[in-house]
Structure 1
Amino acid sequence: MRAWCGRWHVPDASGLTIPSEKKRIRQRMTGMYCTKCGAKLPRDARFCMNCGKPVAAIAPAKAAASTASSGKAAAPAAVPAKAAEPMGASSSSQNNPSSEQSETLRGAVNATKHRSRRRVPMVVLVALAMALAAGTAYAAYRVYTDVWLPAQQTQNEQTVEAPEEITYSVETRSMDVSVPVDPYDAPGKREAQKWYYPHIEASTQSDAVDKINAALEESMRSDVEKTNAAPDAAEDMGGAIVFICQYRSITLTYIDNDIVCVRDQRYDTGWGPHGSTTVTGCAYSLETGDPIDPVSAFGLTPEQAKSAVADAVTAYLATDPSDTLSTNAVVRDITNMCLMSPALGSGVDVENPLDGCSHFYIASEGLVFATEDHQMGSYAYGRREILVAPSDGSLAKVGDTVAIEAPMGFSGSGQIPSQ
């Protein structure tokens, strides 16, 4: 053995000596790498695991490892062709291990780069992107079907099921009338009056309300025109008895979302000892504008109405008996005619009644029956308007009287109070 640079040297296969320390470093630093892609290979590899190049075509580092393992030589590997170079060249290579180490590190870095690029193939990235897109689309679909669509359906249902509620108000209107006072006792004398009637206003346009208003106004105007044209002196009547309406007033007594009811009071005279006061009623549908019988509008059958009238009149006469008639006679007469139309004639002269007029009308207290003059006793006993069926929640009871006074604008002879 020879000393070199203060260290012991071990002869290699070519007869050259390599410091033992450097030999160990070389064995650690020198490995087998693919010459195509630079990937480090296992010692027993036959192919590059990264690019597939056969190991047989790679530098003889594997051969050195194989020789060392077989025990043919003590040297770690056969010296490659460049080992046959002159002594100086070999010594230079041995004295500059940093260059070999640099090459080895560079290959390792390159192998790492290649591995990082190839570790996530493009197909995996495409699959991940498609999965993300599908997940986003599904989440949007669930939001649409589970949140937005039910909310829209609920809103549409609420819109359909909750139409705008119609409200009503009533305005009292009047017509100017020139009324003869008395052609016999006060010929040529007339009196200016105002006859009143209701005009209904709806919060939205309503053909039914327009129809009702037209019916009320037309009936009132017909009587106004006839009274204005009536003679005011006996000689102008040609010896005939002329009945005229000396006063009329229509009052709204009940309204809800379905019906409206009016009370029609009038005073007619033929210039005898006294005239006749008549009270009738009429209900109208707020859906169609057509007249409805107040009894059926209140929910009673004709037989129920007759029975209710008999009970109510009997209850009233028990506290205020007739001055000329028995209770049985009064009840019999009233129940026989209570369902007849006043316009058909039952001792009452009504020339221009409202269509569908009745002896009944509906008030806030309930269903009311209006008697005629002489029905419950003498003319002096008067008429009565009697509650025959109370409304739900009403404090009134069967047999009570209902007082609804029409506005009075007439002071001529013959006008009498309703009671």
Structure 2
Amino acid sequence: MFCPKCGSKIGDDARFCTECGLPLGGLSGKTAAEEGPKAEPSERESSSAEVIMEPTDTETDSAIGSANAESTAEPSPEPVSKTANSGHSQMYNFFMQRCQVGNRLVPQFAIMIAAFIAAAGIAYAAFMLYKNVIEPNLQQQSVQQEQATERPKKDERAVEEVVYTLEAKSLTASAPVDPMLEQGERRDMEWSYPQLKSSTKDDVADKINKAILEPLQIDAERTNRASDNEQSDAELYPDGELPCISRNVTVTYMDENFFCIRDERYSTGWGPHGGTVVTGVIFDLHTGDTVSPQDMFGIDTEDLANSMSSAVWPYLTEMGREHPSDYNSMLMRSNSSDYSIKGSTCLCVTSKGLVYHTEDYELGSFADGNCEILVASWDDESQVGSEVTPDEVKDGTTVKVDKED
């Protein structure tokens, strides 16, 4: 059959025209077949009639009048049917166009989402690359540049020498002679101690000088407060400490790296005798900090304790002692009293090596006295265990120290 609108040939059971989209639900196959061929000739005749009527005005007026008459007449059902069918076709076409637009938009939206995800992934990868690779390299280069810039300054300072000169100083303490036997009697005691004089303004020298002087001043002030009459223990022994009668700090070793002192302190409670304690302190001339004998000589604490035991043991057996002292604990002992120089140990550094001053009663009775024994040597181990006389660096001795910072 044929489409009643466009005249296209379509199947007998078709519901829509495949060319114009006209719904065909209300037409039978026969009707569509009959109307199809008629529609085309009538249109042709109408167009022919219009062409023939164009030459004369009379015919034109007649055609116009005929058209007006037809327009006033009641419209036939056929044009109404065609108009309705045309409306359905337009709606169908509009719907199909929207479906096609939607089908095109869905892939485009998916492509946009995929592109956004890809861009975000690339941006994140670039950020991680900068954070983990580029930025650390830039920081390392910056540090290297700073070090390269500072290195010439350090090299220039390395050749600059600071000269330290040893100066002997003293302070006076008023010590009671004997509150029990010589009441009211006091004696001025000169305590000696060293100080460093620097060729330039130097914080290291100030730090070392302060570390030596302050404990002596505290000790002297306590001695000045001790009573010279037989009074209560609180007056005889201020702060619960036996008054120090004499104290001498000497320099036993000094080179371009270390400044070593020996501190000998005698205190008494005015009985049969007092007590003497000898300690040593090692200062680093580059920093002003104290250094342990183990670090200076590169000896482990346990090995140094064994060396001390081996060196001192012959003196103990000679005096009839059966057990040596616990030198390991002695080396680890920290003297926290306010009159002690911080960093004090039981060993002193001399030009021969490390020297140990035996404690009172260590060799036997108090009358057996004390010994200065070499327990570690710089370069001659055969001298370890021998009794030595502590060195004393003379006043005015100088040493040159290279300052790197």
Assess if the C-alpha contact under 8 Å between 2:226 and 2:235 holds in 1.
no
Q: 2:372 aligns with which of 385, 390, 393?
A: 385
Q: 2:333 aligns with which of 294, 318, 341?
A: 341
Which ranges of structure 2 fall in alignment gaps of 5 or more residues?
1-151, 394-405
Structure 1 position 397, deviation (Å): 0.6
Q: Which residue of 2 aligns with 1:283?
A: 282
Structure 1 position 275, deviation (Å): 0.6
Identity of aligned residues (%): 37
Aligned residues: 239
Assess if the C-alpha contact under 8 Å between 1:231 and 1:237 holds in 2.
no
Cα distance in 2 for partners of 1:158, 1:275 equals 52
List aligned pairs for 1:121-270, cutoff 5 A: 160=156, 163-235=159-231, 237=233, 243-270=242-269
Q: Which residue of 2 aligns with 1:397?
A: 383
Cα distance in 2 for partners of 1:295, 1:342 equals 15
- The answer to whether 1:372 aligns with 2:359 is yes
Assess if the C-alpha contact under 8 Å between 1:298 and 1:362 holds in 2.
no
Q: Which residue of 2 aligns with 1:359?
A: 346
Structure 1 position 238, deviation (Å): 5.8
CA offsets 1:349-372 (integer angstroms, 9 cap, x no match) = x66111111101111110111221
Which ranges of structure 1 fall in alignment gaps of 5 or more residues?
1-155, 345-349, 408-419
More helix by percentage = 2
Cα distance in 1 for partners of 2:153, 2:179 equals 68
Structure 1 position 294, deviation (Å): 2.4
Structure 1 position 158, deviation (Å): 12
Structure 1 position 340, deviation (Å): 3.7
Q: With the length of structure 2 as denominator, give the TM-score of the two structures.
A: 0.54
- 2:220 aligned counterpart, secondary structure: helix
Structure 1 position 300, deviation (Å): 1.4
Which contiguous aligned blocks of 4+ residues in structure 1 show a shift greater than 6 angstroms?
156-159
Amino acid at match of 1:278: V
Structure 1 position 217, deviation (Å): 1.0
Structure 1 position 295, deviation (Å): 2.7
Higher relative contact order (CA 8 A, sep 6+): 2
Assess if the C-alpha contact under 8 Å between 1:313 and 1:386 holds in 2.
yes
Q: With the length of structure 1 as denominator, give the TM-score of the two structures.
A: 0.52
Amino acid at match of 1:249: N
Structure 1 position 177, deviation (Å): 1.6
Computed over aligned residues only, the root mean square deviation of the Cα atoms, in angstroms, reads 2.8
Assess if the C-alpha contact under 8 Å between 2:262 and 2:280 holds in 1.
yes
Assess if the C-alpha contact under 8 Å between 2:268 and 2:274 holds in 1.
yes
Cα distance in 2 for partners of 1:374, 1:406 equals 26
List aligned pairs for 1:290-329, cutoff 5 A: 290-317=289-316, 321-322=318-319, 324-326=320-322, 329=323
